[in-house]
Amino acid sequence: MTVTDDQLARAEKALQLYGLSEGGWRRTPSENLQELLVDLMRWCDATQHGFDRQLDAARKRHAGAGGRTSAG
């Protein structure tokens, strides 16, 4: 799998937002990642998108074409 600079930049930007948040500067990068994942879980619950289903689809994309395929 080839990771593009654009993919890395998007992930870094998302994590930076959590690091710049009110409590983010006190957390480690791993803790900020966990906070992001918890927020995504809550968003999926609130919008009925099914976090586990989306995570499974993301894992398949990650293992397959490096994120270039579509997933439901």
Read off the pLDDT of residues 12-22 as tens digits, 9 standing for 90 and up. 888 888 888 87
Per the structure, the count of domains in the chain is: 1
Q: Under a CB-based contact definition with an 8 Å cutoff, are residues 51 and 41 in contact?
A: yes
Give a yes or no: residue 16 inside a domain.
Answer: yes
How many residues are given for the chain?
72
Read off the pLDDT of residues 35-65 as tens digits, 9 standing for 90 and up. 899 999 999 999 999 999 999 999 999 998 6
Q: Under a CB-based contact definition with an 8 Å cutoff, are residues 38 and 52 in contact?
A: no
Q: What helix, strand, coil percent values describe the chain, rounded to 5?
A: 70, 0, 30
Structural domain boundaries, residue 39 = 5-63
Give a yes or no: residue 69 inside a domain.
Answer: no
User: Which range, 3-12, 23-32, 47-56, is most confident?
Assistant: 47-56
Give a yes or no: residue 70 inside a domain.
Answer: no
